Amino acid sequence: MLKIFTILVSILFIAGCNNDDNIDGSLENPLLADVTWNLISYGYEGESTKALLPGTKYSIIFDSDSRSVGGTIDCNHISSSLASYTADDTNIEISSFFTTLIGCSGMQESGYKEQNDFIVNALLSLTEYSIEDSELTLKSIDSSLLKYSNTN
């Protein structure tokens, strides 16, 4: 009986150690992770994207080793210790995350709250991504688009 229990525990341990952090079994694009992506525009699929408000900066980093997400939401930081991601070659999901809540200098600008809310909501509901040249496009369930560049 002890031998069967030991075998079962060993199987569960090995299965739990499987680090298959992708969605459908295919590998994620190797260009996605370990790069700082700087947001350049946002909007909805089928519409013109909007440029960021002057003086605002948003970035995202997917860490391939820890499967964590880091970055900035203007002057605030995305928690890399609690945010994680899963991805395959075209699909992506980010677990819930939190950001620091520092009052950024542009908060009083017209459109700031809308821009910030759009970006955070899009990140929390990601479904797809694509990389072409040095541009990352993240797409959300509601067809929100976030366009990033790794050349800024």
> H/E element holding 6?
helix 2-16
**Contact assessment for residue 82 and residue 97, using Cβ atoms and an 8 Å cutoff:** yes
Task: Name the CATH topology of 21-149.
Answer: Lipocalin (2.40.128)
The pLDDT assigned to 100 comes to: 85
Contact 92, 108 (CB under 8 A): no
How far apart (Å, rounded) are the C-alpha atoms in residues 41 and 126? 16
Instruction: Give the chain's mean pLDDT.
Output: 82
Neighbour tally for 141: CB within 10 Å: 12
Q: 143 and 28 in contact (C-beta within 8 Å)?
A: no
What's the pLDDT tens digit per position in 20-43? 445 544 578 889 999 999 999 999
Of the candidates 120, 145, 148, 116, the residue with the CA atom closest to the CA atom of residue 45: 145
Domain boundaries, the chain: 21-149
Question: What is the structure's pLDDT at 31?
Answer: 92
Q: Among 101, 1, 103, 122, which Cα is nearest to 50's?
A: 122
- pTM of this structure: 0.80
Per-residue pLDDT tens for 108-131? 889 999 999 999 999 999 999 999
Give tens-digit pLDDT for 83-104. 789 999 999 999 878 788 888 8
Give the phi and the psi of residue 58 in degrees, each rounded to 5.
Answer: -130, 135
